[in-house]
């Protein structure tokens, strides 16, 4: 592992679902940025000719990630590959965890030999009833991640264990995706896991406490969430559709990453 800030990695490929695509870190032009783009910008700023691809597409299940992204990523020969997948499966009403574990293992076995460093994650979870309902499945998935990482020499970024990332204020109104500040913290976490000198040593530190919103404010937010996000999500589940159907990856090729904008704290 890298022990100083000198450039070592010359390329990055990100594999996964909406978490890695960058929702809900919305840019003015209507596209999503996200932690992987932020990480790539940091790495590119230190390494001339740095290349980056992001194959992640919102809504993808682990089987789709394996079928559509894994072999493509492996063939790119990047120095670093990040793989985050399986959480969408655990949030389905019915989930075969044995199949999820087997597919995740298949993905890791293909990707680990194809790069210098494979990065896996224990995904963050927002406080609330959704996390509590699906926590056993999520923790089973994360146990599998830990075991695969130990077996294949992958780095695990523990976001699930970071208290700061469970704060509802770091999650968008859909309650499924991180805000810009949440993505910034993820980028910092992966940056440090790759061995770079910390730029934000306190990314795990929770936000300062504030008075919780009142009952009326919470109920208005609940109604808005149900109308704009929960009901459409249920509708897609009932009809077998996904928010990522027909959507291509935002960076399907491993190409030089020119967006060398200063790494700014959105807060």
Give domain limits for the chain.
Answer: 11-213+249-256
Neighbours of 93 (CB within 10 A): 6
- Give the model confidence (pLDDT) of 43-74 as tens digits: 999 999 999 999 999 999 999 999 999 999 99
CA atoms within 13 A on the CB side of 245: 7
Phi, psi angles (nearest 5°) of residue 62: -65, -35
- Give the model confidence (pLDDT) of 154-194 as tens digits: 999 999 989 899 888 898 867 688 999 999 999 999 999 99
Residue environment code for 4-43, b if the CB has 16+ CB neighbours within 10 A, otherwise e: eeeebbbbbbbbbbbbbbbbbbbeeeeebbbbbbbbbbbb
Give the CATH number of domain 11-213+249-256. 3.40.50.1110
Q: Is the pTM of this model over 0.85?
A: no
- Give the model confidence (pLDDT) of 82-141 as tens digits: 999 999 999 888 899 999 999 999 999 999 999 999 999 999 977 666 667 888 999 999
Query: What's the whole-number mean pLDDT along residues 253-258?
Result: 91
119: exposed, middle or buried (Cβ count in 10 Å: 0-12, 13-18, 19+): buried
> Residue 92 in 3-state DSSP?
coil
Segments of 184-258 assigned E as strands? 251-256
With contact defined as beta carbons under 8 Å apart, do 47 and 9 qualify? yes
């Amino acid at each position: 592992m890298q022990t100083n800030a000198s450039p070592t990695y010359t390329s990055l490929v990100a594999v996964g679902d909406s978490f890695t695509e960058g929702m809900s870190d919305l840019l003015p032009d209507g596209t999503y940025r996200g932690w992987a783009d932020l990480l790539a910008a940091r790495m590119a700023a230190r390494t001339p000719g740095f290349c980056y691809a992001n194959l992640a597409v919102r809504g993808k299940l682990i089987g789709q990630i394996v079928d559509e992204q894994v072999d493509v990523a492996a063939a790119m020969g990047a120095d670093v590959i990040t793989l985050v997948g399986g959480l969408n499966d655990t949030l389905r009403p019915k989930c075969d965890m044995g199949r999820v574990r087997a597919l995740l293992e298949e993905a890791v076995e293909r990707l680990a030999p194809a790069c210098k460093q494979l990065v896996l994650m224990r995904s963050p979870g927002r406080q609330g009833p959704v996390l509590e309902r699906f926590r056993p499945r999520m923790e089973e998935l994360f146990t599998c991640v830990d075991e695969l990482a130990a077996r294949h020499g992958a780095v695990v970024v523990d976001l699930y264990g970071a208290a700061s990332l469970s704060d509802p204020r770091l999650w968008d109104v859909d309650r499924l995706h991180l805000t810009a500040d949440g993505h910034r913290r993820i980028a910092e976490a992966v940056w440090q896991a790759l061995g770079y000198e910390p730029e934000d040593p306190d990314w795990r530190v929770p936000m300062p406490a504030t008075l919780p919103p009142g009952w009326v404010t919470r109920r208005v937010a609940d109604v808005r969430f149900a109308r704009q996000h929960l009901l459409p999500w249920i509708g897609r589940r009932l009809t077998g559709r996904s928010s990522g159907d027909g959507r291509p990856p935002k960076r399907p090729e491993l190409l030089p990453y020119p967006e060398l904008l200063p790494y700014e704290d959105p807060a």
